[in-house]
Amino acid sequence: MKKLITVVAVIAVFACTNANATDYSVGKGNWLVGAAADLSRIWGGGVAGRTTFNMNAEVGYFVWDWLMPEAKFEVDVTSGYNLEIFTAGARAYWNKKTSLLPYARLNVGVASSANGDRYTAFALNPGIGLDYMITKNVAIGIQANYTAFIRSSTTSMFDFPVGFSIYF
């Protein structure tokens, strides 16, 4: 009788756990639209130590279950100048069967700043991130990004945007 109760209890717990499980898997054929904001720090190229307010928007499409090409537009605002960055690249996701979606990303593009004159530079933007699915289609997340602005001298920026993403 004890064995029967134990077996029934284990089956009941397993059934309840699976009944409440949500399928968070996103992959091939899904779109991502997201936005984020943060404070970032810029150094090098005559702007060392400046803190900027950063806002960005991004869109991506999963071509495979684990790979999502993306495009990102970012605006950084600080005293004296504004910086616009447009990059394109890809994210590689892993362990997508839970509510936590970790990824690594690499984007390249152009950056443009206006400080009286307009300056343009090549932008290299690698990073890592983690999205937490709060529903089947909506996530909140954080990224850690490094951006190198390459021109005659290199200016660098670290930022840690916090934002949301919609997967559909």
Percent with pLDDT over 90 in the chain? 46
The values of phi and psi at residue 136, to 5°, are -65, -25
CB atoms within 10 A of CB 95: 10
The arithmetic mean of pLDDT across residues 46-74, rounded, is: 87
In a domain, 8, yes or no: no
Amino acid at site 43: W
In a domain, 116, yes or no: yes
Q: With beta carbons less than 8 A apart as the criterion, state whether 57 and 72 touch.
A: yes
In a domain, 15, yes or no: no
pLDDT at residue 21 tops 60: no
- For residue 144, give its domain range: 26-167
CATH number of the domain within which 96 lies: 2.40.160.20
Tokens matching residue 32 = 């991502």
For residue 33, the Cα-to-chain-centroid distance in whole angstroms is 10
When divided into structural domains, the chain yields a total of 1
pLDDT at residue 76 tops 90: no
pLDDT score recorded for residue 6: 65
Tokens matching residue 110 = 């152009």
In a domain, 105, yes or no: yes
In a domain, 18, yes or no: no
In a domain, 12, yes or no: no
Report the DSSP beta bridge partners of residue 121. Answer: 111
CB atoms within 10 A of CB 13: 10
pLDDT category of residue 19 using cuts at 50, 70 and 90 = very low
Structure letter (DSSP) for residue 29: T
State pLDDT tens for residues 81-107.
Answer: 788 999 999 999 987 678 899 999 999
In a domain, 10, yes or no: no
Name the helix (H) or strand (E) containing 118. strand 117-133
Q: Are strands 117-133 and 100-115 parallel, antiparallel or unpaired?
A: antiparallel
